[in-house]
Structure 1
């Protein structure tokens, strides 16, 4: 009679301790991922953005990007104060309507959201100190 050759492949058997350890590692990873998702969704927002606090005559620097602007309010003589607020429209949602009647406007910053919507009309700050 001939013998059947052993099947190739892995024959892995885990001890109960290894199974428990693997489950704990998996549970730990799930908790970490869930924590990161919760923090990104409900965590603190960028407190540096001072756009909503700007008033006419204030100067600011854009610390965000052109598509996602974030204003940092500065003294108008500060060399980093690139822009000066000409109008703050707390009820505005469309910059072309809010800023079209403001002479000297070279740009606008618009924030729309469920809690707060406004438009800031601004121009380049010609009072800033030299760099």
Structure 2
């Protein structure tokens, strides 16, 4: 997290890493890094490649995970990537979070109450 209250002197005030992103190289063939994020109302929704969607509370100095959703591993239809989750896109609107996974497609998730763990819509 970067404090931009003084644009001439930005400063780092917090860091968040998933447990798997703390280890390099990873134990498996997954990619464990943030890709895209959207934020609002004190929460960040982060597409975190093989660690799926991470929901972070940004109201303190240190981001805190308050929810997540990892799609099941799925083979790459083109055969180029390992059979892992690869969440690369995220958007939110009207109480839903939408994520895209390179291998398995589009997921529409419910996030009732804002900060609770997202649930896959059936």
TM-score past 0.5 threshold: no
Please tell me the TM-score bracket, short chain as reference. under 0.3
TM-score (norm 2): 0.23
